Amino acid sequence: MSADKVFHSRSQGIPSEGVKDQYADGKAARVWKKYIGDSNQRTQNYKNFLTGLLKKHNCVKVLDAACGTGIDSMMLVDEGFKVVSVDASDKMLKHALKARWEKRKDHKYDEWIIEEASWETLPEDIQSFLPGATFDAVICLGNSFAHLLDEFEDQRTQKMCLRNFAKVLKPGGLLFIDHRNYDAMINSGATPGHSIYYNCSYPVDIKTSVLVVRGKPELVALDYLIHTNEDAELNEQSMFRLCYYPHELDKFTSMLDEAFDNKAEHSIYADFKALDQVENPAYYIHVMRKPLN
Ligand SMILES: C[S@@+](CC[C@H](N)C(=O)[O-])C[C@H]1O[C@@H](n2cnc3c(N)ncnc32)[C@H](O)[C@@H]1O
């Protein structure tokens, strides 16, 4: 039995039957921007790393495959990249669409495409609104990929989605994908206090639960409590649960290599720095370079 069947993996109050969107009740989506904190401070942590590699490899067309509220996409639009942003959650996309509307007088934003798409059907979804499109780079950042749980206990859906990322890349294109340091979370049962992605100005408590099914870590549930007491608009809506598949570094590394038929260049970073520079990273970031032929 998969973890999703023995653990209530979604915030209460929304129908779980057939619903995979953990943001569907709107609770996390409403406070997500507050949780991220100042957007410049957030993207400062990896802007040079990301844009530096993209420019080095002459990447222009970038797919943000988990755009959420649009934070990384906007940073890339500002830096002159042609960005297509997709997400499976309409509750999250609503915030990205609003952000684009607010930037409507800035011509850089005229060509920013925002559409609904799922990793599970990514090539077909993209085909429906941009026939024939492929990308110089795909990003899937902010610990997004771990949202995909292991329904069949053989990681087949995760493998298929990674292959879909590879499919929509041009030869020589780059995939940036990350995950929390689940090895540390499995060993300690806690979420590292520091984070490169979240700089919330309110106090945040994260309750970490690691679910082990038949001896195998199958799910990590994070219950977020954001103390927004002084913010009347957000009060009562600052608790939400998100569940993740706990990708261990060595297993995720092999799964990614397989998705590119073991032919891609694969570099791994710790909190966007060289692996040996960070002792206990909060995140691992993988950069895959699809072979030229
Ligand atoms: C943790 S949020 C991160 C969003 C953004 N990258 C950021 O860092 O703020 C994860 C996002 O992944 C999206 N997501 C989860 N499963 C997905 C799927 N199967 N296809 C597309 N997007 C998905 C969620 O809807 C959510 O917006």
- Closest ligand 1 atom number to CA of residue 148: 16
Q: Which of 45, 75, 87, 94 to mutate to test the pocket of ligand 1 (most atoms within 8 A of CB)?
A: 87
* 142 included as an active-site residue: yes
Structure tokens of 283?
Answer: 């995140």
CATH of 3-289, one of 3.40.50.970, 3.30.1330.10, 3.40.50.150, 3.40.190.80: 3.40.50.150
pLDDT number for residue 32: 75
Half-sphere exposure of 195 (CA within 13 A, CB side): 18
The full set of domain ranges for the chain reads 3-289
User: Bridge-partner residues for 267, per DSSP?
Assistant: 287
Q: Which ligand 1 atom is at minimum distance from the Cα of 242?
A: 1
One of 182, 197, 198, 269 is an active-site residue; which one?
198
Return the biggest CA–CA distance within the chain: 56
* Closest ligand 1 atom number to CA of residue 71: 9
Q: Is 65:140 a contact under the CB 8 Å cutoff?
A: yes
Average pLDDT by stretches of 10, the chain with 293 residues: 56 45 78 74 85 97 97 96 97 95 96 97 98 98 96 94 98 98 92 75 82 91 79 61 95 98 98 94 97 92
Binding-site residues from annotation for S-adenosyl-L-methionine: 23, 32, 42, 66, 87, 141
Catalytic residue list contains 284: no
